[in-house]
Structure 1
Amino acid sequence: MNIWGAAIALFVSAFMGEASFPGVSVAITKGDQVIAVQGFGHDSSGAPMTEHTKMAIASVSKSFTALAVRQLADAGKIDLDRPVFDSRVTPRQLLAHKSGISDRTLPEKSLPQPGSPAQAVERAQEVLRTAVPDGQFRYTNTNYHLAARLVELASGESFNSYLRKHVFEPLDMRETVAIDVTPRDLPSDYRRGYGYAYGFSVPLTEPDRFVAGSDGVITTAADMAKWLAAQPKLAPREGMGWETDSQGRLRHNGIWFTSTAGQVLTSSGYGIAVMANSGIGLGNESTYALENGIADIVDGRTPPEPSSYRLVTDLVLAGLTVLSLVLGVRALRRPRRFHKAWQVLRFVPLGVLLALPTLLGLLYGGGRDITFYQLAHYSLPLVVWLGVSSVLNVSVAIVRWRR
């Protein structure tokens, strides 16, 4: 891997052990030169990860969509500051997540999923008519679904074909494809990612979701190295598929329910891309810390020791589930009389369970949308604990009311 190759390999392996990542692939560049590409661990078929293993990069895909829009803007086919789709929203505002649209105004995961960018625009028509761009940042995949349709209308090509002809092929990214819907459109040689529960990583199929423009690029570490090496010429810009972090680095992370990814461009000229085949969950929100650790090593700094509370979180939830089961069974076997008004409290776990998708979206995602099915991918132990507690508490309340 180069002079710091052993240090990076050791750090990645340690991180994988702490975070329970079965497989990781890494690409590193300096300026326009590819420095290293390598796979670690294995995929869900048991095969070793290599630089040619197909991986989902999730919302890292947004930087590709933004580039496509910029290309067409440079060609005079898109006006970045002219409202589109009979709304007050401009392409620049879509790319910067400042369109006034959010997961609260259009819950993009809970609603029926479109099958194409054109259908995504149809689904968003009412929200587009009432959207008021106010300069506030509200992250939602819908913005990039609409941007994908802009590319189609301006180019006369399907969005995925445009990316292939005008982005992937010119950069020699011949292992890379873009898809519309998961898991329907995933390549035949793509291996499922993993979910995680109670210390075990289990291969899972990504839930049915529309991903064109927002998070639909499937690629390899070898191709991501080519992408990163091209960035000095492409001049990535904040608010257009890239974000600036607290240290002034351009980056974007991506999360699927069965994989995570991230890319970062350091001020010292390094490009780093990381892809892992383990999905978002409690204790695994992204590959952010992994990218930062690699960036520290290439810049000559010592990274923090890898750590993760993923297993601890699940073990605590497992303990709460067992405790709820023991206490609930005990209460059912030895029911006592309680004032009926107090029994209303028995319904609190059920209320929390029913409200959990909304609560998690508010607490962890700034109002992001998630379905119950996707919630089980995010944290099965949390759903199991609340489910067991709800069933037993409601049963106890019914028994005591009847007495």
Structure 2
Amino acid sequence: MATILLGLASLPSTVKSQDLTQIDSLLRQYSGPATPGASLLVIKDGKKLLQRTYGSADIENHVAVKATHNFRLASVTKQFTATCILQLVGKKKISLATSLTDIFPGFPAYGEKVTIKHLLTHTSGLVDYENFVAGSAMNPQVMDRGVLEIIMKQDSLYFEPGTRYQYSNTAYALLALIVEKYSGESFPSYLRKHVFDPLGMYNSVAYVNGINEIPGRAWGYSKNESGWIRKDQSSTSAVLGDGGIYSSTEDLYKWDQSLYSGKLLPKSTWQEAFRYNTLANGDTVHYGYGWHLRKNNNNEQVIYHTGSTTSFRNIIYRVPSRRLTLILLTNRNTPEEENMVDLAESLLSVLRLFDF
């Protein structure tokens, strides 16, 4: 059963009752007390146009999803990691041209050509650390420092840095370590002090088991022959820089609004973060600093990121020229990550905000 957190009378006239029915229909698979759920928020011109929740955050204890529930963001985390790096660049602690051999003593020689900008834009050529972590390696799970140890044992790259785009979780794990080295703070503490608290995101957290807690935690679930089973973690779920933040649609509303301001970064730096990059041969990289970039069917710039990990699928989909954002957080292992973009655009189409 969906929960309407904004009364119909308070909604703009563009959101009709039949639109809400269609929204519920598109998200019907998330409804029900024994079903992993979803938290949806649509923001227009700084206002919460539509906020709805579905299904359960904790099936075993019969806890329905609320807008304050914290979901594991998975790769939506990358925009936060990039922001921390850009803050340190702004303070001249590092530069986008700083290389891995400058940062990590004893790093293999190939790291001399890999810069922070390559890490941010997925053009580093670093090997995927996941290929060296067994799925059964749960005690202990690999963490960011373990990713560095894996990479320092490698003797080559997939390709010359800057010549190809290849999405890299490895790069963002290393970026979290770079934040720690040049700030003198742990990554969770840095986020708390320099991102979350300044924005009033008091319930968001980069989760480290045994160190901090997740308030209002939405647990992850996967489906097998007998139904939904709690399967919240994998062997790589403890890596923070590439996917370890938990947050809610309530907190992410504050994050979204900050992206229009200079509160965390100068507006010129945000513009740089949202800009396409270029490979050595001149080809366009459809990725900024922590954000995917694309044009919609109206030829408007879309800045977005999906997130997919063990039993979580998420998306933040923004059209800054319209001051429009859709945030959808879910705690299940379906659909495929790339299908979250289609789902987001279908939801916005129902609201007649676009003709996709």
| Superposition TM-score tier, normalisation by shorter sequence | 0.7 to 0.9
CA distance in 2, matches of 1:89, 1:293: 39
RMSD: 2.9
User: Is residue 134 of structure 2 the alignment partner of residue 107 of structure 1?
Assistant: no
| Distance across 2 between alignment mates of 1:265 and 1:198 | 37
Tell me if the contact between 2:132 and 2:150 (Cα under 8 Å) persists in the aligned partners: no
The answer to whether 1:40 aligns with 2:70 is no
* Residue 241 (structure 1) aligns with: 290
Aligned to 1:118: 145
Q: Quote the offset at 1:179 in angstroms.
A: 1.9
Q: Percent identity?
A: 24
- Please state how far the C-alpha of 1:90 moved relative to its aligned partner: 0.7
Q: Which moved more, 1:226-235 or 1:57-66?
A: 226-235
Superposed CA deviations along residues 176-219 of structure 1, whole A, max 9, x for unmatched, are: 001246x9976264242211235933332322323211101101
8 Å contact kept, 1:28–1:225: no
* Cα distance in 1, alignment partners of residues 260 and 91 from structure 2: 20
Structure-1 separation of matches of 2:190 and 2:132:
24
Q: 1:154 aligns with which of 182, 191, 210?
A: 182
Q: Deviations over 1:310-345 (max 9, x none)?
A: xxxxxxxxxxxxxxxxxxxxxxxxxxxxxxxxxxxx
Higher helix share: 1
How has the CA–CA distance of structure 1 residues 63 and 57 changed in structure 2, closer, same or farther, with 3 Å as cutoff? same
Residues 46-91 of structure 1: CA deviation (Å, up to 9, x unaligned):
2221111121111100000011101111111111112123412111
Q: Which residue of 2 aligns with 1:212?
A: 240
Cross-structure match for 1:290? 343
Counterpart in the other structure of 1:264: 317
Q: How far did 1:246 drift?
A: 4.1
1:223 is the counterpart of 2:237: no
Alignment match of 2:96 (pick from 80, 95, 120): 80
* 1:30 corresponds to: 44
Name the SS for the 1:249 alignment partner: strand
Within 5 A, what are the aligned runs for 1:2-401? 2-3=11-12, 4=15, 6=17, 9-18=20-29, 22-43=36-57, 44=59, 45-84=61-100, 85=104, 86=107, 87=111, 88-103=113-128, 107=131, 109-110=133-134, 115-127=142-154, 130=157, 132-180=160-208, 187=214, 189-198=216-225, 200-209=227-236, 210-233=238-261, 235=270, 236-237=273-274, 238-247=287-296, 248-266=301-319, 267-280=321-334, 286-301=339-354
The 3 A distance-change label for structure 1 pair 258 and 130 is: closer
Of 290-299 and 184-193, deviating more is: 184-193
Relative distance call for 1:16 and 1:22 in structure 2 (3 A) is farther
Task: Indicate if the aligned counterparts of 2:143 and 2:239 stay in contact, CA closer than 8 A.
Answer: no
Distance 2:99 2:193 in 1: 27
Query: What's the offset of the Cα at 1:280?
Result: 4.0
**Which AA in structure 2 matches 1:148?**
A
Q: How far off its partner does 1:299 sit?
A: 4.7
- 1:231-261 deviations in Å (ceiling 9; x for gaps): 1125242421101124231100001121110
Aligned residues: 300
State which structure, 1 or 2, has the greater radius of gyration over its C-alpha atoms. Answer: 1
Task: In structure 2, give the amino acid aligned to 1:65.
Answer: T
* C-alpha distance 53-286 of structure 1, shift in aligned 2 (>3 A): farther
Tell me the alpha carbon deviations over residues 115-139 of structure 1, each in whole angstroms, 9 at most, x when there is no partner.
5433332221133765631421111
With the length of structure 1 as denominator, give the TM-score of the two structures. Answer: 0.67
1:100 and 1:15 mapped to 2: Cα distance? 38
Q: Measured at CA, do residues 40 and 80 of structure 1 come closer, stay the same or move farther in structure 2, by a change above 3 Å?
A: same
Distance in 2 (CA, whole Å) between partners of 1:98 and 1:255 is 21
SS of 2:254's partner is: helix
